Amino acid sequence: MFWGDFVMKIAIVLPKGMHFGPERATAIDLCVHDSVRHSAFRSSTRVFGVAVNQPFQDVFFTGISPDARSPIKAFIKALSDWRPDLIVVHQHIPSAYSIAKNFKNTPVVLYKHNSMRLPLSKIKLFWRRRQIDRFAHCIFVSRFCQEACLSDFGIDPSRTSTIYNGLDVGDWNPSSNREKTVLFAGRASPVKGGLEAASAVAHALRDVSDWRSEFLLSTLDNNQEYLQAVRRALSPLGERARVQTDVPFAAVKAQMETASIVLVPSIFAEPFGRTAIEAMAGGAALVASFRGGLAEVCGDAALKICPEDLATFSGAISDLVRNPVMRIELSERARKRVEYDFSIQKTASSLDSLYGRIAGATV
C-alpha cells in the first residue's frame, strides 16, 4: 500500500503481557489482530510480540524470544532490521519510550487500552509527561480514557485520539433460538465483578430450574483464591452452574452467540469493555455496570446495574429471565449499536487515516 511516494511500513509492538495467538489471546491481542486484518495497510504491517507456539496465521508476525536477556533491546533490534515508517506501541509506556528514544526519525504512537495512572509525586509526574512528549500521538480506546489523560497530564488535545475497539460483525452469528443461560466471561479478578455476578446469578436462578449459568474465567491474574470464591458463590445452583477457565476465544464467541443474557458488571472504571460489544454482536441481552468507558459502549442497549447491590443486580437478571420481550428488544438495540459504532471496518479505516497523516507528516 502506498502513501505518497513510498510503501508505508507499519510496525505494531506488543511488548508485555500479550499472547498473539488464538489460544490465549488477550483483548489487546484481539484488537490488534482484527484491526490489522481489516487495514488498507495490511500487506505492509508487521506485528512484533513475544514468540508464541501458534501465532495468528493471517497477519505478519515476528516473535521475540521470551528468554531474551533484555526483551526491549530485542524488540529494538528486530525493529531496526525491519526499518518501519511508523511504530505503534500498545499499552506499555516504558517500552514505548525506550523505542521512541532509539527511533528519533520515526514517529512512535502510544496506543493505550486503559487510563494512564497519575503519579503520586511531582517528580514522577514530570517524568511521565516527558515520556509522553516523546510520542507523535496517543490513541485511547474511549473518550473516558482520553479525557482523563488530557486532564491529568495536560497533553495537547491535537496529539490524542479516541478510536473505539471494533468487531467484524459479519463474523458473528447470533442464534435465533437462545439457550436459557446467563453468561459471564472475564478475568478471575475482583475488578471484573465476577464474584458479584456469581452471587446475583445464584440468587436470581435459585427458583428457575430451567435456567443455568456459565462462567468463563481467565486465570491471567493467577488469583486462585478469588476463583474458588466464585465457585462457592455459584454452588447453590449445583449442576446448573459451570465454571471453565482459560477458554479459547472461539469457544467464548460461540457462547456469546447462544446465551440469552450476558453480564459485564465491572467494579472499576472500565477503560472500554470489549466483552460488552461481543455480547452485543452475539445477540445477547446485556447487563452492565456502565462504569468508565462502559457507559459509552452500552448507551441504551443494556440494563444498568450497581454490581455491589445484590438485590438490584439479581433483580435485573430476574426481570430478563421472566421477560423474553425485554430480552429481544435489548438484543435488537445492541446489534444495531455495535453495527453502527463498533464495526472493525470503521475502526480500521480511522486508524489507517490517522497513521497515514502521522507518517506523511515526516516524509
Return the CATH number at 31. Answer: 3.40.50.2000
The verdict on 90 and 14 lying in the same domain is yes
How many domains is the chain partitioned into structurally?
Answer: 2
Q: Is the dihedral of CA 100, 104, 106, 109 positive or negative?
A: positive
The verdict on 70 and 105 lying in the same domain is yes
Return all residues near 162 (Cβ < 8 A) that are at least 6 apart.
139, 140, 141, 142, 143, 145, 146
The verdict on 183 and 236 lying in the same domain is yes
Residue in this structure with the C-alpha cell 455476578, named with its chain if needed: 197
For residues 213 and 348, is the Cβ–Cβ distance under 8 A? no
The verdict on 14 and 158 lying in the same domain is yes
For residues 11 and 64, is the Cβ–Cβ distance under 8 A? no
The verdict on 16 and 73 lying in the same domain is yes
The verdict on 217 and 332 lying in the same domain is yes
What's the pTM?
Answer: 0.89
The verdict on 198 and 53 lying in the same domain is no
For residues 307 and 158, is the Cβ–Cβ distance under 8 A? no
Range of the domain at 159: 2-166+343-360
The verdict on 28 and 122 lying in the same domain is yes
pLDDT in tens, the chain (363 residues): 444 445 799 999 998 889 999 988 988 999 999 999 999 999 999 999 999 999 999 999 999 998 878 889 999 999 999 999 999 999 999 999 999 999 999 999 999 998 887 777 888 888 888 889 999 999 999 999 999 989 888 888 999 999 999 999 999 999 999 999 999 999 999 999 999 999 999 999 999 999 999 999 998 778 899 999 999 999 999 999 999 999 999 999 999 999 999 999 999 999 999 999 999 999 999 999 999 999 999 999 999 999 999 999 999 999 999 999 999 999 999 999 999 999 999 999 999 999 999 998 443
